[in-house]
Every structure is written in structure tokens, then in C-alpha cells.
Amino acid sequence: MNREACKRRLEEVIDARRQVYLDLGEKIYKNPETGYREKETTKTLADALEGLGLRTEREIAYTGCRAHGNEGKKGPKVAVLGELDALLCPSHPDCRRETGAMHACGHNIQTTVMYGVADALVHSGVLDDLDGAVDFMAVPAEEVIELDYRKTLKDAGKIRYYSGKTELIAKGAFDDVDICMMVHNFPFDQPGIKMAPYTSSNGFVEKHTIFMGKQSHAGQAPWDGINALNMASLAISAMHYQRETFKDSDTVRVHQIITKGGDVVNSVPARVEMETTIRANNMAALMDANRKVNRSIRAGAVALGGKAQVIDSPGQLPIVPDRNLAELFRENALHFYKEEEMLPRMQWTASSDMGDVSSLMPALHGLTGGIAGGLHTADYRIVDVEDAYLIPIKVMAFTLVDLLADGAGQAKKVIREFKPVMTKEEYLQYLRDIEKTYILE
């Protein structure tokens, strides 16, 4: 097939149906739901994908949906992903008042881009011309938040892992997929930058720590108690003192919140709970930082004569970008942007469970623009719908054409030259190894 002719057909359809995509993005924006609660968003997208005539599975990982394009067609299979969940940002003027949920990370944009690619491929007829299959997956729970809620789901056997893509990998959803693609919007600091095709990220480990002391009357006999809050405070200070031991090139980040600071103010706190996230852009640095955080937790407990229970949970792996996919994405972005409007490479110090997928198969996680204000903040907003929604739909659709045209030669090259960080079996073993509970004293 003629690739350029296909791209022209796609662009005509996208331009003609732009309001469909903008309305969908606005509908999802106004209905923010956090991870593993995305019931209405799942229904919205599943109904829309079924409306294209695609067989669509629902609740693929408690929530989420998956539509099948060119089902059964020989050739590579590419999965186009979008993330369903919002986060908690109660200070944002557009948040849902009763929950504080808000799409302040732009997942409504991602899922709209995913749907827009499906819509354009179907309405243009280009999907039938591709030499391979394309699945469209709306995945839940990228933001690792509300861990108490997720633990109730896990304890009930409804989920196994807190991150949605991790859950899907474990359930075998990617076993028949050869390549994964998605975009994520980003508020670029550099003037004039519109896109970053080649991006990497930090991975992280999640820790829940319970500092265990001894209760006593805070006014009458504080000396009879063991102050668990002071243990936590010392541990946090010790973590801060570790910062000079982290290499700048590893982009290590350690941050924590106290989720339970005691029971009553006039008793020495006997139980204090803390959530900690440890991030780094490679596994060696991540494991090194994890050990140093554990030393800090132990130091806080030992100094006060108490102990700490630590519950480690798998977080997300660093994104390992595929150079071939990023280059195809960049070449197609040049239809709309100048070279100087794209970053040649960007290290993203946030995290995404797309990192887990990228360790197993070729993956694209392009960063796109159209927004201002910080991610996860009350200032977040969409400022340009072309850059946020419409151009990413076009670039993603064009990239699919390049991958799956002419016998899917480009897709086969990407698959052939990819070197996985680990096999699926090794990945599942890593999850089992990192998920543990132990006592530090």
C-alpha cells in the first residue's frame, strides 16, 4: 500500500472528526476516577470502541477494556495504550468535590488519543490495509495511590498488583503483543518545545513502614513510653542525610508521607505508619537506594528502642525506550513540528508502569505538549488542543502505518533488534522477590 496516501486519508478523517475526540476528552476529564475505580470511564471507552465495530473486552484488570483490530490477521500485533485513572488533587478547581479526584496528569488525553487512533483507522479504511493486528487497551491504575483501598481489593482476590500494567502482564494480556505504544502529555519547561519522542524514566519501589513503640501518658510519664513518631522523624532525617550519597546521573528520589501519626495527642505514640517511594533510573541505583532507606528506618527504630515492620511492594520499572520506535515517531512528528521543537532525548524523573512493559518488549512512551502547569498540581491545564489531542493522534496513526505497511517490515525490524531487559518469567520472579514483609530492629 502507499504509505503517504494512507497518511493523507488518516489526516483527513482526524480533521473531519476532531470534535468527536475533543468531546470525548472533555467527557473523561469531567468524570475523574482513581485507579481500579474507573467503572464509568471504562464504560465510556468500551462503548465507543464497540461503536467502531471492534470486539471489545471489559474489566480486563478489574477495570479497563481492550478492543481488537484486524483480529486474527497474520503479522505482528501492536497494542496502543491509554491510561484510565485520575489522581487526587483536591486543590484543583476542576476536581470532583466528593472525592478530590482530578485528571491533573492528563490521562483523559492519553485515552482520547488511543481512541482517536482506532477511530481514524476504522473510518479511513486504513486498518484493513495494515499487515498486522492493532489492539487498543485502556489500562487502569497507573498512579500508585490509595494503597489501603488497593489492599482491600488484593485481599479480596480481585487484583494481584497495585499497578495496572503489572496486573495485566501477570494476567497474560501482553503475551500475544509484539510492540506497545502510547503518549503522555508533559509541561515542557524549554520554550518552544512541543514533543519528546525518545524518553526514559525512573522506576520505583513502594514501602509501607509501621513504627512500633510503647504507649504511655505524654504528660505524666513520657519516660515510660517509646515514641514511634520520633522513630519516624529520625528515619526521615536519616533518609535526607543519604542524599549526598546518590549520584546525580541516577536521578534518585526519596519521598514519604506519614499516614498515621499516633492515636491521641496526650499519649506517647505507639504506632506510626509511613509510606515511602524510592525512585531511580536504573535497577542497580534503585536497589542501592532501597538498602540505604532500610538502614535509615532501622536507625530510627534502634535509636528509640523500638522496631519497625516494613512491607515492600513492587512499584514500577524504569522506562527503557526503543530507539527504532522513537525514531519512527520522530520522523512522523516532523510532518507537524520542526526539528528544533522536539527534544532529542529526555530523562523523565517521574515513573510509569510502562517501564515494566518496556522491559519485556519494544515500547514507545512519547511525551507530547499542549498543557501548562505542573503535573499533579492545582495549576495543571490544557492550553492547546491541537498539541494535546489532535497532532498526537495523527503522529501515532502515521507511526502505525509505517510499522505495519509493506508486509510489516518496520515492525519486524523493531522486534528483531529489541533486546529485553528480562523475560516475563524473570519479571514475575522479580515481583515475588521484591514483595515481602520484614522487621527492622
Question: Of 278, 286, 276, 340, which Cα lies nearest the Cα of 311?
Answer: 276
Question: Of 304, 104, 288, 77, which Cα lies nearest the Cα of 213?
Answer: 304
Residues of the chain with pLDDT under 70: 1
Q: What is the predicted pLDDT for the residue at 76? A: 98
Tens of pLDDT, residues 297-336? 999 999 999 999 999 998 999 999 999 999 999 999 999 9
Q: What is the predicted pLDDT for the residue at 147? A: 86
Q: What is the predicted pLDDT for the residue at 397? A: 98
Q: What is the predicted pLDDT for the residue at 1? A: 65
| Mean pLDDT over each residue of the chain, to the nearest integer | 96
Domains of the chain, earliest start first: 3-198+321-426 (3.40.630.10), 203-316 (3.30.70.360)
Tens of pLDDT, residues 77-109? 999 999 999 999 999 999 999 999 999 999 999
Tell me the pTM. 0.93
What's the CA gap between 227 and 313, in Å, rounded? 26
Q: What is the predicted pLDDT for the residue at 129? A: 95
Tens of pLDDT, residues 398-420? 999 999 999 999 999 999 999 99
What's the CA gap between 314 and 337, in Å, rounded? 38
HEC string of 34-50?
CCCCCHHHHHHHHHHHH
Which cell numbers hold the place of 153?
Answer: 481489593
Tens of pLDDT, residues 330-363? 999 999 999 999 998 999 899 999 999 999 999 9
Q: What is the predicted pLDDT for the residue at 423? A: 97
370 CB-near residues (< 8 Å, 6+ apart): 109, 185, 382, 383, 384, 385, 386, 387, 388, 389
367 CB-near residues (< 8 Å, 6+ apart): 183, 184, 185, 186, 188, 195, 196, 197, 199, 346, 348
